[in-house]
Amino acid sequence: MKSALSILTVIAALIGLWYAACVPMNIHEAAIQAQRAGQEVTPAEAPERRKMGRIALAVKNPGLWRTVYEQDRPQLPAPHQVGAELWKTTWGMVERGRAFSKRSLILHGWITLSATLLGFAFGTLLGIVLAVSIVHSRAMDMSVMPWIIASQTVPILAIAPMIVVVLASLSVDDLIAKGVISMYLSFFPVVVGMVKGLRSPDAMQMDQMKTWSASRAQTFWKLRLPSSAPYLFASLKVGVAASLIGAVVAELSLSQDGGLGARLLAGSYYGQTVQIWSALLGAATLAAVLVWAIGLAQGMTLRRMGFQR
């Protein structure tokens, strides 16, 4: 109860801050619109208004404050505007029986989700395979690990269009191309976590295996792999969020297929800030749900395996 109250307090404070920020952010547009409607604005000249700064302008014109929340294309849309847009493009579409129309965020969320899950599966698989080979081969450890780290310093935004072009020339399906781009981000936390996890058995546990003359394969399946479970789940949580980012970035390059990334792009083409923000919030919600789902699986698995109680 107490924690719920503190969470609500924080959320209320954030929304309050958001509303407050709308005033200076949208005050210029509000002034222009008010002037067009024949209202008095001080100062009357636009260049002068720009010179004096947003906050000073807002302070001089308290009469404009109400209108900063009612613009079609505000620089910063207010929470209720984003909320209304989200409602209209999700439940509102369902009510009209058009849940999977092109204007529905449900459709775009689903497109992003499928690319995310595919990329997450690719990335997890690649990450585990790389980690296993790194742990078992010193040559891999020395040669591949630096490349893996280097790969993450290349901006995904730069590499995504190249992946799209290369895969398109190989006539690979768009969904798989998006999965590959998403994998590029999500395999990294899995490699790092799994390498640490597979190496987590201590010297005593390894000696114990030795006293039983266990083979490398037996040590792997019976000791290393189960020991890595807590590390794997921690990595998967980071990995799934990274997958979603990768999928959204991929949709910027493959925007003809739709998706939350395509909505972001279209929104920024046409200055539809409300649409951008609702796509952003949609992506954030999707990420939260995915991370929560993995947390759930984590709790269940680790409790079962005796790592938590």
Which residues contact other proteins (rule: CB under 8 A)? Answer: 204-205, 207-214, 218, 222-223, 226, 229, 304-307, 309
Distance CA 117, CA 182 (A): 9
Distance CA 182, CA 146 (A): 20
Instruction: Copy the structure tokens of residue 174.
Output: 């768009």
Distance CA 53, CA 299 (A): 51
Least distance from C-beta 194 to other proteins, angstroms? 17
Nearer to other proteins, 14 or 305 (CB): 305
Least distance from C-beta 213 to other proteins, angstroms? 6
> In this structure, how many other beta carbons lie within 10 angstroms of the beta carbon of residue 78?
23
Least distance from C-beta 11 to other proteins, angstroms? 38
Instruction: Copy the structure tokens of residue 283.
Output: 């992506």
Nearer to other proteins, 73 or 304 (CB): 304
Nearer to other proteins, 133 or 218 (CB): 218
Least distance from C-beta 156 to other proteins, angstroms? 36
Number of H helices and E strands in the chain, helices first, is: 15, 0
Question: Considering only CA atoms, which of 292, 43, 117 is closest in space to residue 109?
Answer: 117
What does the chain come to in residues?
309
Nearer to other proteins, 80 or 210 (CB): 210
Least distance from C-beta 125 to other proteins, angstroms? 22
Least distance from C-beta 234 to other proteins, angstroms? 17
Nearer to other proteins, 243 or 298 (CB): 298
Residue 39 burial (C-beta neighbours within 10 Å; 0-12, 13-18, 19+): middle
Is 103 within 8 Å of 258 (Cβ atoms)? Answer: no
Distance CA 19, CA 15 (A): 6
Nearer to other proteins, 171 or 215 (CB): 215
